[in-house]
Structure 1
């Protein structure tokens, strides 16, 4: 009888665990001013998450999204406190200013609520360190989302370089990110207002697009920080970006490699691409799905292999499915994963040094 009871208990536990894993993660959306928020509304239908509430004091903005995504304004709250008290989310996603990320973590971490923020993690090292301490103290996941994390091309490039070793040791990496500029591409006025504010965004293009290269390079280097950071910035569209830079070049120097990050709001054609140079050849991640490998032959000859890749498999193709899988312990973040806190602490350190370098016209040495 005891054996039957024990077996029934195990079966019930397994059934409950399976049921619990099938339940969507209860997520609160904090802010609607960052237009990347469209991604989470598009993701909800996958079934991994359920948006239980939204915090947005701007009712006109909230109404626009309500009309677009067919939700009731009863789902919209004026503050995080009201949302948390009413809906008890398991996680929140930040879609407001970068400056607000600290306040969100300060509110949610002590309550055990996990947090995902849009890139970059924080506006400064001071904010980043406070966020890191809170996340560790209260044992929450604090993830940072980048569009390029979900690119199959970048994942393939990493495998070719760090696992298959097809081009030998890394010697140089060039990462280029950006577009014509926020105003020129027509971002929403609510987004433009803070994206071009040095306090609320932490900078201009150097922050908005410099973070991508810092994130990818930290991943490729398996968490190793550069020895030094040198940067220049320029303002080429004063009429559109009067308070911030819109052109930035960041040089990262490592023991045996160098990285060049070109972050710009002045590209005539939007781009997110990467070139990784090794001892024997080059890996090009040309866009989201296209990868080329060139292997050196002689002085300037080469063989080339090109691939167009399929989308990554779930949950590695979507930041919110990924968040749910991490929280439910279905997957474990790898060391210095693109979304991880330790990677993104290095990213903020690089950006902080780059901003100081550009202002002082000096190379900034990083502590190890």
Structure 2
């Protein structure tokens, strides 16, 4: 009964929102990232975002995807410039390589067009610096999308850590993010071509899955940078991934806290678990509708916490994007914000340097 009531409440909130929503015009830059399926899954189901076109230089790929989803060829544009000129979007979602994120920002920022990219934000610190200058000059929103941002469990972790204090002081967070490998799980050739390239993606598993923990930890630390970053990587499958790592572990040290980020392309199935160890309790958060909370050693000192649905604007990337563009949400230091994801790029850059040199990398104070 409780689940039914919560579902009805969420539906009422969505219905109420949609009545008053003003759709924002959104263009799509690139179609080589398999996460683009979330665009097709969203189209026509809600009224807060209108997808006005797709910019993709590979016409064969674009036509194949548009046809698969019964969309007209007229939605395709060979360049982002052409899409912007003809469709005048208010925001652009990037579904190309991480290296190409910079060019999307360079095209959109001078025109006052907001940008949201798939994780992580940038391929290295040099690209990040150029993005930062554009964001500051043209005052656009530059956001980053992670699947884990829309987990109700992470919102509950924040509440328990920051508001109710059920967890006490956070002492360690262990992130477990991985799967069997992008080729093994059947990702498209267009996707894996750049995902397994050290320049286009910036690394292998250390970037693809290491970014999740870096994002959530930076958020939990209110945007604070770690004191140091230590990382090790391996190539367990060099015949499959000859150019990049497929196994990585990153350790972040803070004044009174540690984070251990486990990133893998070698696991038997997909995992995205966040284990938070506080002085008063432990929680294990993931995409499930319940979250395990342990607050003592006795068998009765453990329970499963039911998770309330997220607010409509926080429930998915497109609702969130519309709310930001319309001024209903100010990103500040939330999971998608430029402030938090700038630190994520710095952490990943330090982790790659640490793995390469075998040394701990210290952040300057």
Separation of aligned partners in 2, 1:108 and 1:286: 34
2:339 corresponds in structure 1 to 342
> Which aligned pairs between 1:78-157 and structure 2 lie closer than 5 A?
78-157=78-157
Which residue in the other structure is 2:186 paired with?
Answer: 186
State the Cα deviation string for residues 142-177 of structure 1 (Å, max 9, x = none). Answer: 000000000001111111112111121011100010
CA distance in 2, matches of 1:287, 1:76: 34
Supply the distance in 2 between the matched residues of 1:19 and 1:173 (Cα, whole angstroms). 37
**Equivalent in the alignment of 1:312:** 310
- Say whether residues 1:367 and 2:359 are aligned partners: no
Aligned to 1:295: 295
What's the secondary structure of 1:239's corresponding residue?
coil
Question: Hey, what's the Cα distance between the residues in 2 that align with 1:257 and 1:313?
Answer: 30
User: TM-score, with normalisation over the residues of structure 1?
Assistant: 0.91
Moved more, 35-44 or 321-330: 35-44
| TM-superposed deviation, 1:287 | 3.4
Give yes or no for contact 2:148–2:287 (8 Å, CA) kept in 1: no
Give how far 1:106 is off: 0.6
CA deviation after TM superposition for structure 1 residue 328, in Å: 0.3
- 2:246 and 2:308 map into 1 onto residues whose CA distance is 33
Unaligned runs of 5+ in 2: 1-16
Q: TM-score, normalised by structure 2?
A: 0.92
Q: Tell me if structure 2 keeps the 8 A contact 1:271–1:287.
A: no
How far does residue 22 in structure 1 lie from its aligned partner after superposition? Answer: 3.3
Q: Distance in 2 between matches of 1:138 and 1:304?
A: 50
Pairing of 1:215-226 with structure 2 (within 5 A): 215-226=215-226
Contact 1:172 1:277 in 2 (8 A): yes
Task: Report if aligned partners of 1:122, 1:128 keep a CA contact under 8 Å in 2.
Answer: yes
1:302 CA displacement: 6.4
Mapped partners of 1:212, 1:203: distance in 2: 14
For residues 355 and 338 of structure 1, the distance between their equivalents in structure 2, rounded to whole angstroms, comes to 22
Runs of 4+ residues deviating >6 angstroms: 18-21
RMSD: 1.7
Q: CA deviation at 1:207?
A: 0.4
The answer (yes or no) to whether the contact 2:211–2:348 under 8 Å persists in 1 is: yes
Give, in angstroms, the shift of residue 223 of structure 1.
1.2
Equivalent-residue separation in structure 2 for 1:288 and 1:319 (angstroms): 18
Aligned 8 A contact 1:175 1:275 in 2: yes
Given that 1:356 and 1:364 are in contact with CA atoms closer than 8 Å, whether structure 2 keeps it comes out as yes
- Supply the distance in 1 between the matched residues of 2:308 and 2:195 (Cα, whole angstroms): 32
The residue number in structure 1 matching 2:42 is 43
Superposition deviation, residue 301 in structure 1: 6.3
- Give distance in 2, aligned partners of 1:60 and 1:290: 43
CA distance in 2, matches of 1:129, 1:214: 19
Shift of 1:21: 6.5
- Does 308-317 or 89-98 show the bigger shift? 308-317
Count of residue pairs brought into register by the alignment: 348
Which has the larger Rg?
1
The 8 Å contact of residues 152 and 287 in structure 2, kept in 1 or not, is answered as no
Instruction: Measure the CA separation in 2 of the matches of 1:23 and 1:77.
Output: 25
* Aligned mates of 1:35, 1:171 — CA distance in 2: 36
Aligned partners of 2:333 and 2:339 also within 8 Å: yes
Corresponding residue SS for 1:260: strand
Shift of 1:310: 4.8
Q: Secondary structure at the match of 2:260?
A: strand
Quote the Cα distance in structure 2 between the aligned partners of 1:81 and 1:229.
39
The 1:353/1:205 distance shift into structure 2, 3 A limit, reads same
Check conservation: 2:151, 2:286, Cα contact below 8 A: no
CA–CA separation in structure 1 for the residues paired with 2:335 and 2:76: 31
Name whichever of 64-73 and 347-356 sits farther off: 64-73
Among candidates 305, 321, 327, match of residue 329 of structure 1: 327
Structure 1, unpaired ranges of 5+: 1-17
Change in Cα spacing, 1:216 to 1:42, as seen in structure 2 (3 Å) is same
